[in-house]
Structure 1
Amino acid sequence: MKKQIVGLAVAVMVVSGLITEGRVDAADNEREAVREAAQGFYAALNQLFVGELEPMKAVWSHREDVTYMGPGGGIRHGWKAVLADWEVQAAMKMGGTVERSDMRITIGTNLAVVTDYEIGKNLTADGKPMEVKIRATNVFRKEDGQWKMIGHHTDLLPSLVK
């Protein structure tokens, strides 16, 4: 009887370990998928700086519950309003690049929050070089198996605030 109990206990531990390991692997996979979604946003942002809008459209959810609060101030609710803001920015062709640093990821079942710094160089509206280092919060939602941006919020850049 004692051997059966020990055997059962070992079996439970092995199965529990496999289940836990499976959860860890799944969590690691989701974390990597969110990391890739965040990197996709920054790649799209850099393309936007040279006037390319399509990559930005691809990383965002097109639903009406999205929100954008960028470095120029204001708040945009809904995909149409967010897209209109990105169209204006693409037309500006600010040039330069922005990279993320110190990224932190928090993942739930279908939502993920990414915080980081956006660091880089751009041009102001009047063409002068500008250093950028602002905090950002990005929110992603899993839609049809892909992480799509539903929220972007940054510090203000005085040179862009109207």
Structure 2
Amino acid sequence: MPNKLIRMIAATLSFITLALSPPAPSAAAGTESAAITSANHAFDEALSARDIAAMDMIWAHEPHVVAVHPASKTPIIGWAAVRQSWEATFDRFAEISVSMQDPQIRINENVAWVVGLEEIRGKLKTGEAATFMALTTNIFEMSGGRWLMVLHTTSRVPHRPMQAQVQLQGAEQSESEVGWRLSLVRSCLARPFNDRLLSGGERIRAVKSLRFSM
């Protein structure tokens, strides 16, 4: 095979390899990811501080922005309505702390979204404590050289109600007590008759156990 043809084939293969190789992460991509991380953290800080002025700086003041809170029945659409929803939230809480664990960030041109698990701890003005985990999605759009929030949705992670936990624990405890009583009765009845007569205390406990376990 002529050397010229070999060189052409080699050059073609090199071009194909370069075309199919994934692009190396650029410094710009890393910078934008850091900017999204910062914007997302600023949102958590504003929420934790119950700072509506900070929210004004974080959100895009557009009619298409959306918020869905854990107690929302329908999506809240438009900046005016979203802002009012935050004012209502801040008014209900005496204190609140929000932090996102392991946020997952994706950027596509002028849109970025963050998904993660949030831990929410707070105290209502009634004195009632509020602690739960929530699945959260935040979406940002690049506008005027800044990443501004355009969507925030959060929903509680399902968990077993406390009442059900108490009932389950009570059932487990009752089952354990019944087993202990039956063991006591069997042990007492298995002993010689004279020993059973001499052990009045055990006899009383056995009778009570039989009565309560029925």
TM surpasses 0.5? yes
Report the CA distance between 1:79 and its aligned residue: 0.5
Match of 1:30 in 2: 32
Rate the CA distance shift 1:120–1:156 in 2: closer, same or farther, 3 A.
closer
Which consecutive segments of 4 or more residues in structure 1 shift more than 4 A? none
Match of 2:60 in 1: 61
Deviations 1:89-118 (A, max 9, x none): 222233031111021001010100100111
What SS is found at the alignment partner of 1:95?
strand
8 Å CA contact retained: 1:70, 1:155: yes
When the two chains are superposed, the root-mean-square deviation of aligned CA atoms in Å is: 2.5
Match of 1:122 in 2: 122
Q: Counterparts of 1:100 and 1:129 in 2: how far apart (Å)?
A: 19
8 Å CA contact retained: 1:70, 1:156: no
Q: Counterparts of 1:102 and 1:25 in 2: how far apart (Å)?
A: 22
Q: What are the residue-to-residue correspondences of 1:1-162 with 2, within 5 Å? A: 24-48=26-50, 52-74=51-73, 75-124=75-124, 126-156=126-156
**Which has the larger Rg?**
2
Rate the CA distance shift 1:83–1:96 in 2: closer, same or farther, 3 A.
closer
Deviations 1:54-100 (A, max 9, x none): 11111000011100001221320001110111111222233031111
Rate the CA distance shift 1:44–1:115 in 2: closer, same or farther, 3 A.
same
Question: Where does structure 1 lack aligned partners over 5 or more consecutive residues?
Answer: none
Question: Where does structure 2 lack aligned partners over 5 or more consecutive residues?
Answer: 159-214
Larger relative CO (CA 8 A, sep 6+): 1 or 2? 1
**60-69 vs 91-100, which moves further:** 91-100
**Between structures 1 and 2, the one with greater strand share:** 1
Instruction: Give the aligned length.
Output: 143
